[in-house]
Amino acid sequence: MTSVVVVGAGIAGITAALHAEANGCAVTLVTKAALGESATTHAQGGIAAVTDPADRFADHVHDTVAAGAAVGDLSAIRALVGDAPARIDELVSAGVAFDRNADGSYVQGLEAAHSFPRILHAGGDATGREIERALVERLRASGVRILEHAYLVELVTSPDRVTGVELLVAGSPALLPADAVVLATGGAGQLYAHTTNPSVATGDGIAAALRAGAAAADLEFVQFHPTVLAAGTPFLVSEAVRGEGAVLLDEHGHRFAFDAHPDGELAPRDVVARAVARTMAQQDGRPVLLDATGIGAGDTSAFLARRFPTIDAAVRARGLDWAREPIPVTPAAHYLMGGVRTDLAGRTTLPGMYAVGECARTGVHGANRLASNSLLEGAVFGARCGDAIAADAASHTWPAVVPQAATAPVAPLDDAAPFTRAALQELMWADAGLVRDAAGLAHAASTIAAWRAQPRAPRTVHEHEDENLLQLAAAVVAAASTRRSSLGAHFRRDEAAFGTHPEHDATAPIRREPLPSTADQRSSARILQETR
């Protein structure tokens, strides 16, 4: 029987584990926190899928391509959109209670850069929590072995493949051999001083994969969410709030989003986030305002409490009444579009190792993720991965995708201050955040190189996380330094110095050279034409 270790317990990891087990594999699911604590649990907005007869698959594909600055992998995007209805049905069978209308049809919301209201949600704004609840129940009822509070230290490799994982379990080292390892460890929001991500998002899987020699791609594309509550502990205010009609205002009451894009508050996230940042800079760093006082038919307070119960509780816990007055918001790091390079079944450049979810780079997000495609990606490619492992094992080939070139090293600074996680987060926010330039990236690269050169011997989970964050920060900065022109979530203020063009119009096609081993990468103009 094929033995599989899945590292991560969000929608991608649990789906992969359940599918692998259903295909006859002996599966162990490892999570570094308690089961149920994942980025999936915190997802508010919903999950995008074509479920309405009036909607079209081609439109969801086109919206995904356009939001991603037209550099996504079209074959991956078509797989994402085409598999979506089956994955929604599977989630419903697992017990996910999506919100429904009186006639039993799904309540569908509209979010930025979508041409149709196709966002399914549960509990108003508790979609991720409901999906995680149902999947955890299904997981506990399955034959999958569950190992909680087990931290991934390293991938174990032989000369030609991955053969297991090295863990810290309750502070003690443990070795778990496997025929196949699936990384579903999420993103790396903790790279930044301001983030919507939970504390577990420290890039562990990506860093371990890089150390083992796996190829990564698109690490320069870090998405910053435009609307995070700027009062008390950062709290995400879902894009669905703007989808329901909330607007962004500067401190003088000007609705500034339309100055940046004709779609205003419903432009792609990268455009809106930068518009918020520019406006904050013009008002000495003070937050902008999200005005939801005019949404809902009649009683705004009742509507907000019903449609967004989680956000409503968080806002009111901070002493704010968003039904009567606008609330302060600011951008924060939210999602990593890049990651470990994979094919459409989660295979990586290392035989026997797979990656799914936010830690993977499937190509579906291009340079900027379309709202509510993240949960969908986890469900679709988690299922594809779980189904593929058994077939790969039976073929005795353990196929892998073609690798890409490694990044050149950077010389360290001689006078770098001692490393702390907070110092790294502030450095990344300042030099590799929403707006970047050569000087800032060079400073970040040399500082990180100096920190990595300082002697350390990690023992605790927190210390291992620090090493992973440092390694991933170096990779993000290197990728951002290499890309000299602005594209999607990667914005260079100095691109004119390199003879490139200013920030692209997010509605216009952008040409990008095909990535190695991506058979269906097309020029953006052709992609947009094909998907209309």
The segments of the chain whose pLDDT lies below 50 read 405-410, 501-528, 531-532
pLDDT digits (tens, 9 = 90+) for 429-453: 999 999 999 999 999 999 999 999 9
Q: What does residue 7 show for φ and ψ, rounded to 5 degrees?
A: -105, 105
Overall size of the chain counted in residues: 532
Q: Exposed (0-12), middle (13-18) or buried (19+): which is 221, by Cβ within 10 Å?
A: buried
pLDDT digits (tens, 9 = 90+) for 112-147: 889 999 999 999 989 999 999 999 999 999 999 999
- Which residues participate in catalysis according to the annotation? 269
C-alpha separations of 208 from 65, 147, 157, 159, 463 in Å? 30, 19, 11, 17, 14
What is residue 438's three-state secondary structure?
A: helix
Q: Which CATH architecture has domain 22-221+337-395?
A: 3-Layer(bba) Sandwich (3.50)
Q: Which fold has domain 421-498?
A: Methane Monooxygenase Hydroxylase; Chain G, domain 1 (1.20.58)
Q: d(Cα 261, Cα 257) in Å, to the nearest integer?
A: 7
Question: Taking the domains of the chain in order of start, what are their residue ranges?
Answer: 22-221+337-395, 226-333, 421-498
Say which residue the tokens 């920060």 belong to. 473
Whether 226-333 and 421-498 share one fold: the answer is no
Class of domain 226-333: alpha beta
Ramachandran region of residue 386, left (φ > 0), alpha (ψ -120 to 50) or beta? alpha
Q: Which residues, other chains included, contact 473 with Cβ-Cβ below 8 Å and sequence gap of 6+? A: 191, 424, 427, 428, 432, 444, 448
Cβ atoms of residues 6 and 182 within 8 Å: yes
Q: Which residues, other chains included, contact 75 with Cβ-Cβ below 8 Å and sequence gap of 6+? A: 344, 363, 519, 520
What is residue 492's three-state secondary structure?
A: strand
Q: Quick one: pLDDT at residue 169?
A: 94
CA geometry: angle at 364 spanning 329 and 151, to 5°? 75
Q: Quick one: pLDDT at residue 411?
A: 52
Strand order in the sheet with 26-30: 145-147, 26-30, 3-7, 180-183, 353-355
β-partners of residue 154 are: 166
Q: Is this model's pTM higher than 0.85 or not?
A: yes
